[in-house]
Chain A
Amino acid sequence: MLSETETKLLGVMMMVIMLGMGASLTFKDFAIALRKPLGIIIGMVCQYGLMPLLAFLLATALALPPAYAIGLILMGCMPGGTTSNIFAYFSKGTLSLSILMTMSSTLLAIVMVPLTLGFYSSGIEGNWLIPRENVIQILFVLLVPTVIGIALRKWNSNVGAMVEMLGGLLGVLVILFLVVSWVPRNWQLLLDTGFPVYAASVGLGLCGFVLGYGLSRLLRQDSRRSRTIALETGIQNGPLAVLIVLLSFQGSQQQEVLLIPVLYSLFIVISSSFVTMWFRKLTTREEMARDQAKIGALAKA
């Protein structure tokens, strides 16, 4: 369980992260993206179509108890995480697409999260439900810094770019903060936790990568864009889920629901790092092949 102060601190950090995300884009970037919306549409289908369904299926298949099930479904319904942009950068993905997907899913969250969350958690016992008003309220509060971020960028691009960097940095720090403040205090809980919970926490991200990539390839996106969409789909906004849980539950109930979002946030950093290294290698190999073709053409000449 996190203390009152820690919860408040997390809230403030989330606001800065959202401010940074807002500052990473201009209105023109949006307008341009909407001219060729297929990539974004695929991304949103992955984000709010595939992921919540995947979370629901995993919860059912692993027969998770209600506390864990609601945590997993909440995780699945979250918008894209801001750390995905950092991973997209390192994996030599299409950075602009990654940023746009995160931003679009965050803006859509205010409608889509209550909708998907309500739908997939309708079978869960009443006292484990997350009140819809809570979710909307939190998302709305986070929308404000996002819009301020966009405005900052427009007002002064130096301030905008600095805020963007600060937000990106905090995105990583928050996860570290969660791990450092939560894991040692819940060591026993981690030892007692059974396989299904771990499988769900790790599996949500991994299956997200696979499904995101598969759907993009099916819809004829090139391999580099597909890898970007894959990372974007698998990486959810973990800290946001944690914040929603903290503000919706109390005491031991809170601690139980919190387990999967925290484990997910922890493991997604690890699995994303591996996937990123792999994707980077693939992209580099493709680039090398193109170079090789050039050298071949020269030799032929």
Chain B
Amino acid sequence: MHPTPGDTLDALNNPYDLRPWLGQYGKHIAVELPAPTHASLPQMMVAAAHRYADQTAFTTVMPNGMYGSLSYRQVNEKSDEFARYLRQVLGLHAGDRVAIQMPNCLSYPVVLLGVLKAGCVAVNTNPLYTATEMAHQFKDSGAKVVVVVDMFADKLQEALPKTDVKHVVITKVPEFFPALVGGVVHAVMKHWSNLVPKHSVQATSLPEALAKGRAAAKSGGPAVADWWQPLKHDTLALLQYTGGTTGVAKGAMLTHGNLLWNVAQMRAMCASHLEDGREVVLTALPLYHIFAFTVNFLCMFEAGARNVLVPSPRPIQNLQRAIENYKITWITGVNTLYNALLGEEWFSAFPPKHLKAAGGGGASMHGAVVERFEAMTGAPLVEGYGLTESSPVVCFQPLNVPRQKESIGIPAPMTDVRLIDDAGALVAVGQPGELIVRGPQLMQGYWQRPEATAEVMKDGWLHTGDVAVMDEKGTFKIVDRKKDMILVSGFNVYPNEIEEALSRHEGVLEAAVIGVPDGKTGEAVRAYVVKRDEALTAEALQAHCRALLTGYKLPARIEFRDELPKTAVGKILRRELRTAVLSAGAASHNTSNKG
């Protein structure tokens, strides 16, 4: 047997295997979960579709309030048609990859469920990708079919020759809207906002594809269930690409079992605030991202919720009509989204009355944002932690007991978490160490990249690269990304702590902190700040920081910006800021050499 990290220590010195967090589970969170009874995602979703057949499953809301909806029954029927199109018309086989590239819209659930029912593997793709990124992802995954939104078909055209894609299906944001309304939305997007570029991709429209699927059903062939019934827990369901900002993107292989387990774990964590068939969830985060995919899409579908989809949360005003017109009971988001909402008058004047809970993840939530959001809405905003590689949920703050705020909470049921040092030894309670995790939600590895897999998956433990501490009650707190740590005169400085301190100032909208090379201290702390209050000065902010932080943690320089670089889900890209500094530094260095 392989030694696992920490096996060299005896049980008394292994505080993690005692699972101290179980004491916080309370009466609502189950300690032990049975293995998911459904064999596959389609089985789970078809069961939900029968249970809630006539309820509204999805509603897409445009910024002006125009909307379209699909019931559970409609999603079920249309996804059957799409599955038939893939298998009977295009001749795809079980396990073939189908890429899905669209913002939140009604086509997403139809296509995704259709792909899974066909026994195929879905490849979630960020529609904002450049042609080069698209080409890499389609080539790497070996996708045979791409379902793309018309807004990005021109970039697809550029990428296609470099891929093995055989068929393209095109959809539009107002797909499945009432005809007149959909026509108007499409016309406005195309002719007024110029969002639908011209392209010459040979493609089938989604309605045509569904019609062909219906025709195929009439001409015979197997039942759709014959394709998904053989699927098991260890069948691959999803290739979820990750790591695009650190280098080449890798596809995390998530199985039906991984995702079913994570759905069960998440539902267990939320049990006290989740009423089956009664919830209305606002989905402003993109469904192609693993957080919204599992939490908003899969969990909420099984729970019979109505999903209110917003195609783009930027500008944040796009959420106004969605929040006004529907009795939203759940919201998920990232720190930047909640922060933006708090700055909107329409939100602070009329916060959602029916809100039961809000979930935050993707990047660490700032205490000040959580406090203000909870005061404004009266609902808890709980923070979670996860990775693409873990389907994604690892930890969440519990909803039903007094919780440790400014933490990532406690591990979900059936999940083990340990903290280790660079040598792989367990660190003591209260000491920072790299977070490693084990549980049924962990991916099978990276698609066709055994070396990359071996780097992060060791003896069943996923090494996350995040540095965390655990307290005696088993609550975890992320200190920072291992590689974002700043070394100032030999002291470790974690950017999160400095950003949090900066954000506590009333005049700060958001902040990003990075380390830059420094002649005297090795690295120095530099802060980039977006002002909420125009009158804010660097001096005032420095004084504010001096009251909260020790000397070596203070920003050596504060720069004001109109905005900060962010990922598709709104995570601040520190890397981009650092690259700009380093390349500018190199440039000025070159100039001085020449001079």
Contacts and interface: CB of A to CB of B under 8 A. Distances in A.
A162 B184 contact: yes
Given A158-B67, A161-B64, A28 B346 contact: yes
Contact of A157 (B321, B350, B563): B321
Contact of B559 (A29, A164, A297): A297
Contacts of A301: 559, 577, 580-581, 584
A165 interface: yes
B178 A158 contact: yes
Most buried by B among A31, A293, A298: A298
Nearest to B178: A158
A294 interface: yes
A268 to B, nearest CB: 23
A175 to B, nearest CB: 20
A225 to B, nearest CB: 14
A31 B66 CA distance: 22
Nearest to B61: A157
Contact of B349 (A31, A162, A165): A31
On chain B, which size bracket covers the interface? 20 to 34
Interface in B549-582: 559-563, 577, 580-581
Contacts of B562: 290, 293-294
Interface residues of A, number: 23
A292 B180 CA distance: 42
A26 interface: yes
A299 B584 contact: yes
A276 to B, nearest CB: 16
Interface string B172-185: 00000010110010
B15 interface: no
A160 B66 CA distance: 8
B367 interface: no
A290 B563 CA distance: 11
Interface in B303-320: none
Contact of B184 (A32, A157, A165, A294): A165
A35 B349 contact: yes
Contacts of A293: 562
Given A32-B345, A294-B561, A297-B559, A157 B584 contact: no
Q: Which 8 A-B pairs have the closest CB atoms?
A: A157-B65, A161-B66, A158-B181, A161-B64, A32-B349, A294-B562, A161-B65, A301-B581
Interface of A: 26, 28-29, 31-32, 35-36, 153, 157-158, 160-162, 164-165, 290, 293-294, 297-301
Given A157-B66, A158-B178, A301-B577, 14 more contacts: A29-B346, A31-B349, A31-B350, A32-B346, A32-B349, A35-B345, A157-B67, A157-B325, A158-B67, A161-B64, A162-B184, A294-B561, A297-B560, A297-B561
Interface of B: 64-67, 178, 180-181, 184, 321, 324-325, 345-346, 349-350, 559-563, 577, 580-581, 584
